[in-house]
Structure 1
Amino acid sequence: MVFSSMIFLWAFLPIVFILDKIAGKSRKLQNLILLAASLVFYAWGEPRYMWLLLVSILANYVLGLVMDKTQTVGARRTALILGILANLGILGYYKYFNFFINTLNKVAGRELLSMKDIALPLGVSFFTFQAMSYLIDLYKKKYGAQKNILNMALYFAFFPKITQGPIEKYRDFEKQLTERKQSLSLMGEGIRRFVYGLAKKVIIADALGSCVDRIYGLDLANVNGVLAWIAIIFYSLQLYYDFSGYSDMAVGLGKMFGFTLVENFNYPYIASTITDFWRRWHISLTSWFREYLYFSLGGNRKGKLRTYINISIIFVATGLWHGASWDFICWGVFHGFFMVLERLGLGKLLEKTKVIKHVYTILVLCVGWTFFRVGDVGLTLQYLKRMFLPWMYTASGFAVQELVTNRAFFLAACGILGCGVLQKCAVKISPRAEKFKNSTAELIFCMLLLAYSVMLMVSSTYSAFIYMNF
């Protein structure tokens, strides 16, 4: 089940919402309802791996209790190591087993080991990272262990964030399990945020995605420089509006039930450098790697060379987190290279410019997203040739109009404006922009967005969220 499906909008969400409100101020009953709903939500999309989620919850709950009751540093460290190994073991087997076996066989030049038919469990990258952050912070004594297994399960499985995040740290979620506040204003804010997120996904991301699929589905001989650039620009917008749309819906759903989830995006495409981009894109993942891996490696405290090595390790890990393939590793290494380059002096040089730094950032992102989307390193290089040597690739058996509709071009233009341009303008005319928020005009606007989104959902083919694959 996904947020942009009819069964979720017209059955699951209304039923859970009504039951939550009937429970009133009884947090225990509300938590029980939300936990049951979350397990149904997960089982609907991934019934055969329901046991894996439950085992993960139970194992981390027990290890947390053991760590909490043990006073000796050695025993606590042992419990922590066991927990990290168990969580990484789950992630490693289900997400990376075949990748490592395939790589080993290629290096050996023959089949040393056979690959297995392993499906990726829904949300495994997200709930294992949450589990590790829970155990690591518990080891550091930032809080006590959760004694109520049902509350622990809700932290793991809360349906707004189980499949695609944001990656919530337990210390930010703990008090909300028992002390969250609910109000009509917060509920209204949540509904509004959900509608905006749904519109991002259904109206913009899905429309651009169909054009992207058509272009990348062509035989390479039919892809000229113009089509290659249209494809990657559209994909960059599709990816942002797909994932930020989901994140908006997740945050909105949280508010509807009294929870405040962390923000995952802050207009990343107006970033002035790649370093700035990673402060704005997938913020919860960046924060996780910085706190639990980068700082553990020494951060920037052990000299410049060690800092550059640590940054490189972080971005290899970031690439691997996104997918078990060399394309994602290349994408991560590519971003890490520019992060290091900016620390070596490029960042200061870019500070002296206004336009060039944004052009540089967008070009780097477009190259990176090509690795992200194409799925084959060799083929990616062929697309990059068409992008940066367009005069060598002008022939195509298809006209642009056959692959990209005028509506898609219009939505792409709207998408570019919505990536931060309009928001910057709104700051300059803030009194008018503020009047629109929570006004009757915005209510009507949200109702129209919802109606149009539902109409598109009824008439178009189902499209899964991109980050469900990670």
Structure 2
Amino acid sequence: MIDINKLLYELSYHESDPVLFNSGFFFYYFALFLMCYLLVSKSKTGRVWVYTLFSLYFFYKACGYYVGLVILSAIVDFNLSRWIHESPDKTKKKSLLILSIFLNIGLLFYFKYTNFFIGIINDLSAGHIFALKIMLPIGISFYTFENLSYTIDVYRDEIKPVDNFMDYLFFLSFFPKLMMGPIVRAADFIPQISAPYRLSSEDIGKGMYLIMGGLFKKIVISDFIYQNFVQYIFDDPSKHTGLECLIGVYGYALVIYCDFSGYSDMALGIARWTGFKIPPNFDSPYQSSSITEFWRRWHISLSSWLRDYLYIPLGGNRKGKVRQYINLALTMLIGGFWHGASWNFIFWGAMHGGALALDKVRIDWLKQSKVVITGWKATVLKVLGVLITFHFVCFCWVFFKASTFHDAWSLIHQVVYDFQPEIAMELYNGYTAVFWVMVLGFILHFLPSKFEFSMEKILGRVPVAGSVAIMVAFIWLLIQVKSTQPMIPIYFQF
């Protein structure tokens, strides 16, 4: 007999137990969603309503009544964009755009940065303003940027506003990308809403590969490495040798990549199974041979958003070299602040901005000098570039992950002054499984892209019954190796 109270409890929001892609609840939720979605798949209106209602419920399970913010944001920007489009007065158009920017940024600022600035005021004036009890709504940074890109694109006459409010709410609340991205542009997504739902063997294979690969990266690699090694290092770096700290940083580089890209891959796979193609968010970023290339491969939706809606409006490369370098640095500084209300994130963004500006100087010099390097020298430079870029990114991750500047410098101090390489074998014996999972993670990361395409084709040829069997077997395997308590994704806080 069904226990109604227990069922109602499971269906309700609980702050300590938000819904996750890798949670048991999500598998039941997704199975029910797919069943309902397939029942209405021939009707555009039916698909929109089913997807939107399930998405809003998914958001409610993630952050409670803050789901109302998504609906409110959709109402505001749906109407403002239409008024912008219909207004013949350029001044009025600009005023409405400024209002949209002010409302969106204001909402984000209130929830994400109010207490940060209260802290600054208290520090500067020895004030005693009490911090507010504000819970950051999950996904607000992502859907705020989607709202902004939509109204800006309408203002620029690059897209026409949608006529149906439910279409816009569907776009904004689309649950695969709602909480952790990718940041999807309306111009890429909205035209797909009216397209007939068709699922090809390529979609099945691609979707299955992305979902399985994402779950594997998140649960088997990221969660395992973090919970069994990395968290101990960053909790108090001063208690560990420099060798442990250095391996901990390498481990965190894998953790944050596999955690975030794993969730992004699952979002892409779920979208693909339901008839939507959203742009990839990662492209093997640690294979990059320069910091410029890294930001073309890492969190692609954010870096392209910052380029199109911040860097280029600031002047981009149109106002001289010095201004270009300043624009690059400023864009990444703001990108760091987007990640969170912390000086660590600002410093992390500033380091990447400075590195991008220096790399632009290098690129410009190579173009002017017309130096062409080929053969083995090019290969050596490529490898050196990958190693230098990876270690610079890892150095920056120290400040991104550490709770305070003191903890970050403490870790760096241990690496420089207390390395102790003689404990290598003892360390290996204590964390053998962790280190082999790290090796596996890096091997998978550096596999050529043709391996991925081959796996997708193989999975695409499997009959439906076989696909179901593979997914069931894979999920059973994950259950055997995953921790009892799912680890909250890192980018949940952004």
Q: CA deviation at 1:310?
A: 0.2
Q: Please tell me whether residue 408 in structure 1 is matched to residue 434 in structure 2.
A: yes
Match of 1:3 in 2: 21
Count of aligned residue pairs for this structure pair = 459
Secondary structure at the residue paired with 1:54?
A: helix
Q: CA deviation at 1:40?
A: 0.3
| Amino acid in the other structure paired with 2:359 | E
Match of 1:254 in 2: 271
- In 2: Cα distance, 1:434 partner to 1:164 partner: 24
Q: CA deviation at 1:460?
A: 2.2
Match of 1:187 in 2: 204
Q: Please tell me whether residue 175 in structure 1 is matched to residue 191 in structure 2.
A: yes
Task: Pick closer, same or farther for the CA change 1:435–1:311 going to 2, 3 Å.
Answer: closer
| Offset from partner CA, 1:404-433 (integer Å, 9 cap, x none) | 53221111001011112x226849xx9x77
Contact kept in structure 1, 2:316 and 2:327, CA below 8 Å: yes
Match of 2:138 in 1: 122
Q: CA deviation at 1:35?
A: 0.3
Task: Pick closer, same or farther for the CA change 1:79–1:330 going to 2, 3 Å.
Answer: same
TM-score normalised by structure 1 residue count: 0.92
Match of 1:464 in 2: 488
Match of 1:70 in 2: 87
- In 2: Cα distance, 1:89 partner to 1:180 partner: 38
Match of 2:6 in 1: none
Q: Please tell me whether residue 364 in structure 1 is matched to residue 388 in structure 2.
A: no
| Offset from partner CA, 1:194-227 (integer Å, 9 cap, x none) | 1111111111110011111122224x44211111
Amino-acid identity (%): 31
Match of 2:156 in 1: 140
Q: CA deviation at 1:378?
A: 2.1
Contact kept in structure 2, 1:224 and 1:395, CA below 8 Å: no
Task: Pick closer, same or farther for the CA change 1:180–1:269 going to 2, 3 Å.
Answer: farther
Q: CA deviation at 1:356?
A: 1.8
| Amino acid in the other structure paired with 1:466 | I
Contact kept in structure 2, 1:96 and 1:324, CA below 8 Å: yes
- In 2: Cα distance, 1:424 partner to 1:172 partner: 24
Q: CA deviation at 1:184?
A: 4.0
- In 1: Cα distance, 2:262 partner to 2:127 partner: 43
Contact kept in structure 2, 1:180 and 1:259, CA below 8 Å: no
Contact kept in structure 1, 2:162 and 2:168, CA below 8 Å: yes
- In 1: Cα distance, 2:168 partner to 2:66 partner: 19
Task: Pick closer, same or farther for the CA change 1:346–1:80 going to 2, 3 Å.
Answer: closer
- In 1: Cα distance, 2:457 partner to 2:267 partner: 26
- In 2: Cα distance, 1:434 partner to 1:244 partner: 17
Match for 1:375 among 393, 403, 422?
403
| Amino acid in the other structure paired with 1:189 | K
Task: Pick closer, same or farther for the CA change 1:417–1:370 going to 2, 3 Å.
Answer: same
Q: CA deviation at 1:386?
A: 1.9
Say what the alpha-carbon RMSD is for the aligned residues.
2.5
Q: CA deviation at 1:401?
A: 5.6
- In 2: Cα distance, 1:348 partner to 1:143 partner: 38
Q: CA deviation at 1:107?
A: 2.2
Q: Please tell me whether residue 24 in structure 1 is matched to residue 41 in structure 2.
A: yes
| Amino acid in the other structure paired with 2:98 | I
Secondary structure at the residue paired with 1:174?
A: helix
Secondary structure at the residue paired with 2:131?
A: coil
Q: CA deviation at 1:304?
A: 0.5
Secondary structure at the residue paired with 1:340?
A: helix
Secondary structure at the residue paired with 1:245?
A: helix
Q: Please tell me whether residue 452 in structure 1 is matched to residue 480 in structure 2.
A: no
Task: Pick closer, same or farther for the CA change 1:123–1:279 going to 2, 3 Å.
Answer: same
- In 2: Cα distance, 1:433 partner to 1:38 partner: 30
Q: CA deviation at 1:256?
A: 1.0
Q: CA deviation at 1:439?
A: 5.1
Moved more, 125-134 or 223-232: 223-232
Match for 1:161 among 161, 177, 181?
177
| Amino acid in the other structure paired with 1:315 | M
Contact kept in structure 1, 2:205 and 2:461, CA below 8 Å: no
Contact kept in structure 2, 1:31 and 1:151, CA below 8 Å: yes
| Offset from partner CA, 1:273-323 (integer Å, 9 cap, x none) | 111100000000001000000110110010000001100110111100111
| Amino acid in the other structure paired with 2:54 | A
Contact kept in structure 2, 1:196 and 1:446, CA below 8 Å: no
Task: Pick closer, same or farther for the CA change 1:303–1:282 going to 2, 3 Å.
Answer: same
| Amino acid in the other structure paired with 2:175 | F
Contact kept in structure 1, 2:209 and 2:455, CA below 8 Å: no
- In 2: Cα distance, 1:183 partner to 1:437 partner: 14
